[in-house]
Amino acid sequence: MLDAAINKVVRLTITGSSWQLERALASLTYRVRLDIRRDLEESREAHRFERARNCAYYLRRQGSRVVIWRWSYVASISEANRIRALVQSLQGRLDAYRATHIFEEATHRNISRPRLAGMALHAFDIGGYPTLRAGT
């Protein structure tokens, strides 16, 4: 499994097995994980908004792998829906540059100051730095 924080907002995870996918989605409720697996089987992609953690997700099945993009600091379902629409309108593949740009366009905030007033702090706000973790 590859797990990379691209910047304060965007995170990319690539899973190679159903066990890794389950581990990557462990923070989500059981029902949401079921819905995501169903969507991946039916249409090879899934979108979700996790209000409690202010995160929007885009998942895409590519062969035996699942690519998971996560945007933090997403303040509302409206912002999550704009992220979804921008992802679906892309010409070509989603990459780190595009994922960052999508956040900025959907939220009208930039990566260096992504939080709305009153939004919960994120690890990067207090000194965390992007990491790259590869393993099983």
**CB-CB contact of 57 with 24 (8 Å):** no
pLDDT score at 115: 85
Q: Each residue of 66-104: pLDDT tens digit? A: 999 999 999 999 999 999 999 999 999 999 999 999 999
Percentage of the chain with pLDDT > 90?
77
Q: Into how many domains does the chain fold?
A: 1
Provide the domain limits for residue 58: 2-134
Percentage of the chain with pLDDT > 70?
86
